[in-house]
Amino acid sequence: MNAIDIKDVKVGYTKRTVIDELSVTIPENKITTIIGPNGCGKSTLIKTIARILKAEEGAIYLDGTSIQKMDTREIAKQMAILPQSADSPAGLSVFELVSYGRFPYRRRMGSMTAEDYEYINWAIEVTGLQSFRDRPISEMSGGQRQRVWIAMSLAQGTEILVLDEPTTYLDLAHQLDVLMLLDKLNKLEKRTIVMVLHDLNHASRFSDYMIAMREGEIITDGPPEEVMTKDNLRDIFNIEADLTDCPYSGNPVYLSYHLSGSDDHLPSRNDDREVM
């Protein structure tokens, strides 16, 4: 089953077309990661899926229906979005921000229902934020804030989560923390997750499916063992990577790499030290 079908979309900004005639499908109940070098159009693609950008041609289908024909609030009940630069009003508390995840379900003047509270509490619990629920978000660290935003998306109660670089600006431990949380949500709750990641090893380790882009086109898509190959990485990033298997996931990861076409390796730092 496909969660999202992207068919022949053309997207761009006022003068420049970023992606053209792009088609790809996002599998249901899986973690899909979009990778590619800077400016390859991965962010444009995910924003189009999230309906932040509008496709000039083609369409995005959610469960077989074009999102342009759907009521935006109905989409919000099926798909939650975490933009790259989410930034909340300074004094908002964790509970307050997470409760906005219930916005698509609320009537004009109605207050929150028991079901709303149930979702909010669950979202706070599953992201491990119980002890922070009344804390202003401005007093929290970057990693904790990202958890709060993820909690808000979860309170939306959607089958699909779309995240644009959820680990950017986080240190190594917090990056892993966020990805493990998403992994848990996928495994336990069967959520379909689509995201853009910069770190290839993270992408490979945590994905069921990868989409690799370059210059607005999809170079290859498939499971990590098919995408993370020496040849593909050369095509996508112009690098020669030394691949091995991740001891945790078994998926391919790179140990180190150098730029394609440059054989002149610098002497290793260890050699240097011996000379001195």
Q: How many whole angstroms separate alpha carbon 14 and alpha carbon 18? A: 10
6 vs 53 by CB, closer to another protein: 53
The CB-of-115 to another protein minimum distance in angstroms stands at 7
185-188 CB contacts, 8 Å cutoff, 24+ apart:
185/126, 185/154, 185/161, 186/29, 186/30, 186/31
190 vs 244 by CB, closer to another protein: 190
The CB-of-61 to another protein minimum distance in angstroms stands at 18
Beta strands 79-82 and 160-164, pairing class? parallel
164 vs 252 by CB, closer to another protein: 164
The CB-of-113 to another protein minimum distance in angstroms stands at 10
133 vs 230 by CB, closer to another protein: 133
Residues that bind another protein (CB under 8 A): 47, 50-52, 71-77, 79-83, 85-93, 95-97, 99-101, 103-104, 106, 114-115, 117-122, 125-126, 133-134, 153, 156-157, 162, 188-189
134 vs 231 by CB, closer to another protein: 134
Q: How many whole angstroms separate alpha carbon 195 and alpha carbon 49? A: 11
Distances (CA, A) of 172 to 31, 139, 167, 202: 20, 21, 9, 11
Confirm if 254 and 203 have CB atoms less than 8 A apart.
no
The CB-of-119 to another protein minimum distance in angstroms stands at 7
Confirm if 192 and 161 have CB atoms less than 8 A apart.
yes
Distances (CA, A) of 193 to 34, 150, 247: 11, 12, 23
106 vs 258 by CB, closer to another protein: 106
At residue 216, the 3 state secondary structure works out as coil
> Residue 268: which region, alpha, beta or left (left: phi > 0; alpha: psi -120 to 50)?
beta
107 vs 273 by CB, closer to another protein: 107
Within 10 Å of residue 23's Cβ, how many Cβ atoms? Answer: 11
The CB-of-194 to another protein minimum distance in angstroms stands at 13
The CB-of-103 to another protein minimum distance in angstroms stands at 5
The CB-of-270 to another protein minimum distance in angstroms stands at 44
37 closest CA partner among 251, 173, 235: 235
